Amino acid sequence: MDEITGWLMDVYDHPQSGIVLWVIADTGQRLRLLMDFPITFHAAGDFKLLRAAWSFLKGRAQLARVKRRDLFLGERDVMQVTLDENTTLLRDLQTQFPEIDYYDADIPTSLRFIAQTNVHLLGRCRLTLRHERVLDIQPLDSPWQLTPEAIPLRIMELAPNTDPTFRKPGRLKVRMGRREYFLEMEPLRPFLISLQSDLSRFDPDLILTEHGDGWLIPGLTEWARSSGLPLDLNRDRERGIQTRKANSYFAYGQTIHRGAQSHLFGRWHIDQRNAMLFNEYGIEGVLEQVRVTGIGVQDMARKSPGAGITAMQMTTALRTGVMIPQHKQQAERHKTLADLIRADKGGLIYQPIIGVHKDVAQIDFASMYPGIMVHHNVSPETIGREDAGQGLIPQSLQPLLEKRLKFKELLTSLDERDCQYGIFKSRSAALKWLLVVCFGYLGYKNARFGKIESHERVTSISRDLMLQAKETAEDMGFEVIHMYVDSLFVQKEGLRQKQDFEPLLRAVTERIGIPIMLEGIYRWVCFPPSRRDARIAVPNRYFGVLTDGSVKYRGIEARRRDVPLWVKTIQLEILKQLAKARSLDEVPARLPEVDQIVLRARRDLRNGLVPLEELVVVQGLSRALEGYKSPSPAARAAMQLRSAGIDIAPGQFMRFVFVRGKERVRVWELGLEPKMVDVKRYYAILERAVDGLLCGFKRSEVVTPVFWGRAAL
Amino acid sequence: MGRTVSTITQYLNETEATLSDFRRALRRSDQYIFDGIFAAARKHITAISQSDSLLPFETVLLAIMLEQAKEIAALRHELEQRRDG
Amino acid sequence: MEIFPVMKPGLLILSFVQEVVPNLIVELALRGPVTVLDGGNCFPAYRIAQLIRRKSTQVDAISKRIFIRRAFTCHQMLNLLETSAALSQPHVLLDPLATFLDDQIKPSEAGRLFTLCLQHIERIQLSAPVAILLKSVIPAEKEFLLTNLCERADEIFAHTAPGQPREQQLDLFQGL
């Protein structure tokens, strides 16, 4: 018997029985270990059906009659089934007996493992081994630590020199640690031999690629096979590479495209081009999410944060003895017409006062919705019950919320130049994303424990809290300029420094119980009116200059994906110019320079001096090409690609430039010349963007002359 | 998850749409004022929504009256300033 | 277009005509409690309130007779029907097939679940009339769901009768 300590990297099913664990030992060895791991699930429902299911399973699994808790139905008599081997028995059972309610039947193995052993993924642990068999495993740290011991990961990066969708790459950039070099991909044999040599010598834990999911990994596998050469992408030689197909689906009101995936065993593969939010928080963020959710690295990098929240709920359920239903869902309890109108609302949105305002503080509640869920114990099973203990959802969220708040505090006290700052920032951002989606997963239709009443309770409480915050501010003499779900813009004559707003923050936090923090103080902030009618305000659209001179903006062109870079750059230049005004009174003096910026921009465009890349518009294809009655610009672009032999799925993004003539758009990848550009169209886009900024300075309202506005429209 | 009940913003848009024939037959300058009436209502979308009214148009009218009252107060104030000033 | 006179216990009535349903719900509410099961997230709350106002001054009291429950997935739809007691009040189902059209639900599974739903509808039908509004376009592979439903119907309303004036009253101020 041996005892070792190290980090747990991954857990997955062994093809026959039990699980495979990958551990980075403190000795530096990467170990593949095996562990017995029986899987238990439960079945409930019609007694006759259960009896038949029992007969079906007899001799092939361990069976027992037990009482277990359904979150909504309370204690239920269920059949407990324990499988020692990883066979298709469960699937066969479900095909034979679809009418049975199945519980705990589709839980990811890593979550079962974590609930049972308390060892979390990427956590430090102590293992008792006999050869490669794990007899015992003990956790040595907690996922809620802010600064876990850093894992000595070996990362290999692979990137082709061109985008394989449009042009066949000729070289592969390889980076391992500090070394970086280029491998010619032809001729094939030396290329594969060289890559294999790197793989075995460097033995990476993580292969970070570009275009790996859909092209490089499947490609390498195929080329190695047809050349008869070894290529050990997997460390686990007993497994092949797991591939998943690409698909498009409709969710959250839009068509989303998920690319193909290539998963490795024994090491991780992440394709930077196919990883969710990788730009937001990078590998440190992904690892942090894995730590707290229990979803494996390769899955977490590709899935939306919602999967992480579901995983946390499942783990909490497993730990507290609540059965996790596979399909069964609770429908809404009845509401009268008045009940429905009262309940079916979103967050509180207060129309902004149009125009420019000076010395305005933006104060935000930290993670408001999760805060409400925890603080007010909002959970599907606690609705309407005063005496309920802490609900499942708050229980699963509380440690996450606390860790995020601790990170936020830590970051405010750290210097930005501290070498740890970047890592903490990524981890904090990763947790923020988990929290941001957890609200949707309260009522989300595919949530395991979803109930729309809990969703409605949270928004109801949030609206009330916002009104309380407004009252507190107004009681203290502030004017509330704008409110948006969890954020307030407040102003009081004479107040313009951080300390000035502290009494307000304290008062609100005390009254409401959820921390509210100062996001920033604007020297001036502008809420531009609607383009439709200058008397109509637009929520959550603003731009302004903070006290440190930096510019902040929301809802304007500079934020939008479908606006060309050229326009965004000009808008930002104008903003910077306006930001030079140290106070609102100095702004008019900046306007002539702004006019110059616009004139120069138009001249550059006219004379073909704008790099074509900056004129590219990015727009998603919302449906299959056949579904368009009159094609959108994105659809036109997709049609051009299709004629060139490249197929595009709904949800994918088109990159194109507006051109003169009947063509209207030219897809970027097919190339174009400067003289083709539809200059007038770009003038119009620019004008809209510029006007959007300046109109706020031309109009403002103190008391509204709404009805008799000057005829100068 | 689905929002089932229209938002007040949607409700105002739909109401304006049912009045489109009325609006069309107005003079251009009157149309501007007409649009202003709805812009006035839009300033108080939150309050209208919070009132949980089964018949929101009643509350919409109240919001419009509120804006008119503000305008009268502003005009009165300006008038007094000019008289005294 | 008169569905209302046809609503009697024991009967299942289908309508492909959207406009008649708010009126039906209101006519039923004027006479007693009515349950609306919304499977298509299409319950027109304000429209119903407006219609009540056109027919009565007791908007509050009458609106309290309308009981709404929503389902956002087919499993919730089944649960809605499973937990619906067979009361004597009429039931109106709005677009119950909508939740079965999700790509993630295979046709065989949709069929199995919907059959269970139909059994519950039959149970409810025994004590009260049931009207079903059908709205969503059904893809070919799930059309059999609609066929099964139509086979069970006692009456089907498919077109507006010719010569009926379209209701387009400006009812903002009516009875204010």
Bigger pLDDT: C11 vs A250: C11
User: CA nearest B10 in C: which residue?
Assistant: C46
Q: Band of the pLDDT at A588, cuts 50, 70, 90?
A: confident
pLDDT of residue A644: 85
| Average pLDDT rounded to a whole number, residues C107-136 | 94
- Does the complex come out with an ipTM higher than 0.90? yes
Summarised one tens digit per residue, pLDDT across range A288-336 is 999 999 999 999 999 888 899 999 999 999 999 999 999 999 999 999 9
Q: How far from A435 is each of A306, A400, A431, A447, A554, CA to CA, in Å?
A: 9, 8, 6, 15, 21
Summarised one tens digit per residue, pLDDT across range A398-415 is 999 999 999 988 998 888
Neighbours of chain B (3+ CB pairs under 8 A): A, C
Q: Band of the pLDDT at A702, cuts 50, 70, 90?
A: very low
Question: A581: helix, coil or strand?
Answer: coil
| Domain A612-676 in the same topology as domain A154-204+206-266 | no
In this model, does residue A343 exceed pLDDT 70? yes
The residue among A549, A594, A384, A448 whose CA lies nearest residue A104 is: A448
Two tokens, residue A348? 């509180």
The residue among B85, B36, B37 whose CA lies nearest residue B60 is: B37
Q: How far from A297 is each of A112, A258, A265, CA to CA, in Å?
A: 16, 17, 11
Specify the range with the lowest mean pLDDT, choosing from A165-169, A388-392, A549-553, C122-126.
A165-169
pTM of the prediction?
0.89
Contact status of B58 with chain C (Cβ, < 8 Å)? yes
pLDDT of residue C170: 52
pLDDT of residue A700: 47
Mean pLDDT, chain C, integer: 88
Q: What residues does each domain of chain B span? A: 8-84
Q: Is the CB of A345 less than 8 angstroms away from the CB of B68?
A: no
Q: How far apart are CA A709 and CA B34, in angstroms?
A: 12
Q: How far apart are CA A630 and CA A653, in angstroms?
A: 18
Q: How far apart are CA A377 and CA A465, in angstroms?
A: 15
Q: Band of the pLDDT at B84, cuts 50, 70, 90?
A: confident
pLDDT of residue C175: 41
Environment class of C106 (CB within 10 Å of its CB; exposed 0-12, middle 13-18, buried 19+)? exposed
In this model, does residue C174 exceed pLDDT 50? no
Count of CB atoms situated within 10 Å of the CB of A646 = 14
Question: A645: helix, coil or strand?
Answer: coil
Query: Residue A576 is which amino acid?
Result: K
Q: Counting every residue, how long is chain A?
A: 713
CA atoms in the 13 A half-sphere facing the CB of A615: 31
Summarised one tens digit per residue, pLDDT across range A83-105 is 998 889 999 999 999 999 999 99
| Average pLDDT rounded to a whole number, residues B31-41 | 95
Neighbours of chain C (3+ CB pairs under 8 A): A, B
Mean pLDDT, chain A, integer: 91
Query: Residue A614 is which amino acid?
Result: E
Environment class of A161 (CB within 10 Å of its CB; exposed 0-12, middle 13-18, buried 19+)? middle
pLDDT of residue C143: 94
Q: Is the CB of B42 less than 8 angstroms away from the CB of A338?
A: no
Q: Is A357 in contact with A524 (CB distance < 8 Å)?
A: yes
Q: Is the CB of B4 less than 8 angstroms away from the CB of C41?
A: yes
Q: What is the DSSP letter of A659?
A: B
Query: CA angle A160-A202-A159, nearest 5°?
Result: 10
Specify the range with the lowest mean pLDDT, choosing from A432-446, A525-539, C88-102.
A432-446
Query: Residue A136 is which amino acid?
Result: D
Q: Is the CB of B6 less than 8 angstroms away from the CB of C59?
A: no
Count of CB atoms situated within 10 Å of the CB of A238 = 11
Give, for A438, the enclosing helix (H) or strand (E): helix A421-438
Query: Residue A94 is which amino acid?
Result: Q
pLDDT of residue B1: 58
pLDDT of residue A89: 93
DSSP string, A188-205: HHHHHHHHHHHHHHH--S
In this model, does residue A437 exceed pLDDT 80? yes
Q: What residues does each domain of chain A span? A: 154-204+206-266, 612-676
Q: How far apart are CA A330 and CA C73, in angstroms?
A: 10
Share of chain A above pLDDT 90, in %: 70
pLDDT of residue A711: 33
Mean pLDDT, chain B, integer: 94
Q: Does domain A612-676 have CATH number 3.40.1820.20?
A: yes
Question: A4: helix, coil or strand?
Answer: strand
Q: Is the CB of C63 less than 8 angstroms away from the CB of B4?
A: no
Summarised one tens digit per residue, pLDDT across range A601-643 is 999 999 989 999 999 999 988 888 887 888 888 888 988 888 8
pLDDT of residue C171: 53
pLDDT of residue A631: 86
A179 forms beta bridges with A176
Question: A452: helix, coil or strand?
Answer: helix
Q: What is the 3-state secondary structure (H, E, C) of A384-427?
A: CCCCCCCCHHHHHHHHHHHHHHHHHHHHHHCCCCCCCHHHHHHH
In this model, does residue B9 exceed pLDDT 90? yes
Q: Estimate to the nearest angstrom the gap between the alpha carbon of C85 and the chain centroid.
A: 17
pLDDT of residue A626: 82
Give, for A640, the enclosing helix (H) or strand (E): helix A633-643
Two tokens, residue A188? 């094939």
Query: CA angle A229-A231-A232, nearest 5°?
Result: 145
In this model, does residue A691 exceed pLDDT 60? yes
Q: Is the CB of A446 less than 8 angstroms away from the CB of C73?
A: yes
Q: How far apart are CA A328 and CA C74, in angstroms?
A: 10
The residue among A141, A119, A126, A121 whose CA lies nearest residue A5 is: A126
pLDDT of residue A161: 93
Two tokens, residue A695? 């109109």
Which CATH number describes the domain made up of A154-204+206-266? 3.30.420.10
Q: How far apart are CA A46 and CA A690, in angstroms?
A: 67
Spell out which residues of chain B touch residue C70, defining contact as CB-CB under 8 Å. Answer: 2, 4
Residues whose CB is less than 8 angstroms from the CB of residue A532 and which lie 6 or more positions away in sequence, other chains included: none
Contact status of C42 with chain B (Cβ, < 8 Å)? yes
| Strand order through the sheet with A74-83 | A62-70, A74-83, A39-44, A101-103
Q: What is the DSSP letter of A585?
A: G
pLDDT of residue A279: 81
Using DSSP, how many helices (H) and how many strands (E) does chain A show?
Answer: 19, 29
Spell out which residues of chain B touch residue C39, defining contact as CB-CB under 8 Å. Answer: none
Residue with tokens 């394989």: A164
Q: Is A79 in contact with A103 (CB distance < 8 Å)?
A: no
pLDDT of residue A443: 63
In this model, does residue A703 exceed pLDDT 80? no
Q: Is A457 in contact with A443 (CB distance < 8 Å)?
A: no
In this model, does residue B67 exceed pLDDT 70? yes
Q: How far from A444 is each of A51, A67, A329, CA to CA, in Å?
A: 34, 29, 11
Q: Is the CB of A335 less than 8 angstroms away from the CB of C83?
A: no
Contact status of A328 with chain C (Cβ, < 8 Å)? yes
Contact status of A455 with chain B (Cβ, < 8 Å)? yes
Environment class of A635 (CB within 10 Å of its CB; exposed 0-12, middle 13-18, buried 19+)? buried
In this model, does residue A174 exceed pLDDT 80? yes
Interface test mutation site (partner C, options B4, B19, B21, max chain C beta carbons within 10 A): B4
Q: How far is A327 from chain C (nearest CA, A)?
A: 7
B49 phi, psi to nearest 5 deg? -65, -45
Q: What is the 3-state secondary structure (H, E, C) of A316-374?
A: HHHHHCECCECCCCCCCCCEEHHHHHHHCCCCCEECCCCEEEEEEEEEEECCHHHHHHH
Query: CA angle A386-A389-A391, nearest 5°?
Result: 100
Count of CB atoms situated within 10 Å of the CB of C59 = 19
Contact status of A707 with chain B (Cβ, < 8 Å)? yes
Domains and CATH numbers, chain C: 9-157 (3.40.50.300)
Spell out which residues of chain A touch residue B3, defining contact as CB-CB under 8 Å. Answer: 344, 346
pLDDT of residue A705: 44
Specify the range with the lowest mean pLDDT, choosing from A194-208, A531-545, A581-595, C57-71.
A581-595
Residues whose CB is less than 8 angstroms from the CB of residue A618 and which lie 6 or more positions away in sequence, other chains included: A561, A562, A653, A654, A655
The residue among A9, A16, A264, A296 whose CA lies nearest residue A127 is: A9
Spell out which residues of chain A touch residue B5, defining contact as CB-CB under 8 Å. Answer: 340-341, 344-345
Give the range with max mean pLDDT: A503-517, A656-670, C162-176. Answer: A503-517
The residue among C78, C62, B3 whose CA lies nearest residue A327 is: C78
Q: How far apart are CA A80 and CA A57, in angstroms?
A: 11
Spell out which residues of chain A touch residue B67, defining contact as CB-CB under 8 Å. Answer: 704, 706-707
Give, for A471, the enclosing helix (H) or strand (E): helix A452-475
Two tokens, residue A229? 């050469």
